Amino acid sequence: MKKTKTTKRKYLSPFTFCVSAVCVLLAAFVLNGYISLNELTLSSAGKKKELDELNARNSVLCVEIDRKNSLASIEQIATEQLGMVKLEAFRIHTVNLADSDTVEIAPEKEKKSFLDGVVSSFNILYEYLN
Q: What is the mean pLDDT of the chain?
A: 85
CA distance 57 to 63: 10
Domain contains 64: yes
> Where residue 53 falls among pLDDT bands split at 50, 70, 90?
very high
Per the structure, the count of domains in the chain is 1
The residue ranking higher by pLDDT, 37 or 75, is: 37
Q: How far is CA 23 from the centre of its chain?
A: 51
Domain contains 40: yes
Domain contains 69: yes
pLDDT of residue 58 exceeding 70? yes
2-33 residue pLDDT tens: 666 666 667 778 899 999 999 999 999 999 99
Domain coverage including residue 31: 19-94
CA distance 127 to 63: 34
pLDDT of residue 130 exceeding 90? no
92-116 residue pLDDT tens: 777 666 666 666 666 666 667 778 8
Q: For the chain, give the percent of residues with pLDDT over 90.
A: 43
Q: For the chain, give the percent of residues with pLDDT over 70.
A: 76
Domain contains 120: no
The residue ranking higher by pLDDT, 109 or 40, is: 40
Output the pLDDT for position 1.
57
DSSP string, the chain: -PPPPPPPPPPPPHHHHHHHHHHHHHHHHHHHHHHHHHHHHHHHHHHHHHHHHHHHHHHHHHHHHHHHTSHHHHHHHHHHTS---PPPGGG------SS-S--PPPPPSS---HHHHHHHHHHHHHHHH-
Domain contains 41: yes
Domain contains 103: no
Question: What is the torsional sign of CA 87, 89, 93, 99?
Answer: positive
Domain contains 78: yes
Domain contains 86: yes
Q: Give whole-number Cα distances, 48 to 1, 6, 58, in Å.
A: 83, 69, 15
